[in-house]
Amino acid sequence: MARLPERPRVWLLSAYRADSHAAWADWLVTTQTHCRWRRLELPGRNFAWRIRGNPLSWLDSLPDETPDLIVATSMVDLATLKGLNPRLARVPTLYYFHENQFAYPVGENQFRSLEPRMVQLYGALAADRPVFNSAFNRDTFLSGVSELLKAMPDAVPEGVSERLAQASAVCPVAIDPLVGMAPGARDPRLVVWNHRWEHDRQPSMFADVMLRLANEGVTFRLALLGKRPRRVPEPLTRLREALPSQIVADGMLPGAAYRDLLAGAGIVVSTSRHEFQGLSVLEAVSAGACPLVPDALCYPEMYPAACRYPAGDAEALVSRLRAWLTGGLPPSVDVSPWYSDRLQPRWKALLQELA
């Protein structure tokens, strides 16, 4: 009787377990059962220390076994980790980019440090297969590497971006689709904001637009969701004070309540200045909400022109929302290519290619 091959031993290294990183890791080990997984994860906080310090955090805690494959997120300082652990040097490695530091916007009181970008560049070079959650993520990383090396004063290697491009692949984070209400039961005037209330999501622009529409007498309701810092953001305060009767939800809802709200929403809006895949919009669209997103970042890969407005153009966003709220919504958008059942075989093929 033929002996069945053993399942490969795979380490999943996630140096920043937060939000999409956590959802992706949980999904991967649950669905890719042909692997024997060993997970090493660090909490999603203290970014500057975490992205540079994870090889130290794991210095004395790596398993004694040598895996058949390593799957590491781009928050992992992979080059240093392999240098400190020579037995891992030749282990095939998939390096997964949820984001890249070359395209991550910097806040008003921040400066762009070289170190996070170098960690990700060295990590991609140390990996066998850099994988990105969107073509936008891949392309901005590769162009960022090219621009960075142009600034390098001397002894610059040739063809680094081209070398990385040849090794790279795109495979998104999967979502489980939400069940939406029948069209007649949906509230076409319920506008959802389900993003972090931070500078890179431009909540001030969203607040300006909604207050402008309210002053024009346009009828709508608001669901103000997503994480917010301890100090209440000024845009959120403005919306609360000016539109208390229009706000039907305010805060992070429990899972079931969140899904129920998205199931009946008409519109989900993004004003983001950075988005590498946009899971919150994807989830809302899977439930039947119409996306209204910038014509930039990852969004052109996902949504038709009718659902995109010129990035940063508040007037265009006001105009499009006004038309939707007074004249009816466009057809729903098919986002099934990002569903779990569609992406599971693609991830399996990537893993089997290396292990």
Residue 198 and residue 354: Cα distance in Å, rounded? 38
**Helix (H) or strand (E) segment spanning residue 10:** strand 9-17
Query: Per residue of the chain (355 residues), what is the pLDDT tens digit?
Result: 455 568 999 999 999 998 889 999 999 999 999 999 999 999 999 999 999 999 999 999 999 999 999 999 999 999 999 999 999 999 999 999 999 999 987 765 555 789 999 999 999 999 999 999 999 999 999 999 999 999 999 999 999 999 999 999 999 999 999 998 887 889 999 999 999 999 999 999 999 999 999 999 999 999 999 999 999 999 999 999 999 999 999 999 999 999 999 999 999 999 999 999 999 999 999 999 999 999 999 999 999 999 999 999 999 999 999 999 999 999 999 999 999 999 999 999 999 999 8
Please report the pLDDT score of residue 5 as a whole number.
61
Do 9-174+339-354 and 183-336 share a fold?
A: yes
Residue 79 and residue 295: Cα distance in Å, rounded? 36
Q: What is the CATH number of domain 9-174+339-354?
A: 3.40.50.2000
Both structure tokens of 63: 């398993």
Measuring CA to CA, which residue among 183, 11, 28 is closest to residue 82?
Answer: 11
| Residues forming a β-bridge with 41 | 14
Question: Would the CA dihedral through 180, 184, 187, 193 be positive or negative?
Answer: positive
Measuring CA to CA, which residue among 6, 3, 5, 43 is closest to residue 22?
Answer: 43
Alpha helices in 93-224 (DSSP H): 114-126, 135-151, 160-167, 203-215
Instruction: Give burial (CB, 10 Å; 0-12/13-18/19+) of 287.
Output: buried
Distance of CA 37 to the CA centre of its chain: 23
Radius of gyration in angstroms for the set of CA atoms belonging to the chain, rounded to a whole number? 22
Alpha carbon separation from 215 to 220, 242, 271 (Å, rounded) = 12, 10, 20
Tell me how long the chain is: 355
What would the pLDDT profile of 20-35 be if each residue is shown by its tens digit? 899 999 999 999 999 9
Contact 117, 103 (CB under 8 A): no
Q: What is the DSSP letter of 179?
A: P
Both structure tokens of 32: 């890719």
Q: What is the DSSP letter of 295?
A: S
The dihedrals phi and psi of 276, each to the nearest 5 degrees, come to -95, -25
| 135 Cβ contact list (under 8 Å, min separation 6) | 170, 298, 301
Residue 281 and residue 276: Cα distance in Å, rounded? 12
**Helices 114-126 and 160-167 meet at what angle, rounded to 10?**
60
Residue 42 and residue 296: Cα distance in Å, rounded? 32
Class at the top of the CATH hierarchy for domain 183-336: alpha beta
**How many secondary structure helices (H) and strands (E) does the chain include?**
12, 12
Please report the pLDDT score of residue 185 as a whole number.
87
> What are the residue ranges spanned by the domains of the chain?
9-174+339-354, 183-336
Contact 341, 177 (CB under 8 A): no
Please report the pLDDT score of residue 107 as a whole number.
61
What would the pLDDT profile of 78-131 be if each residue is shown by its tens digit? 999 999 999 999 999 999 999 999 998 776 555 578 999 999 999 999 999 999
Three-state secondary structure call for residue 329: coil
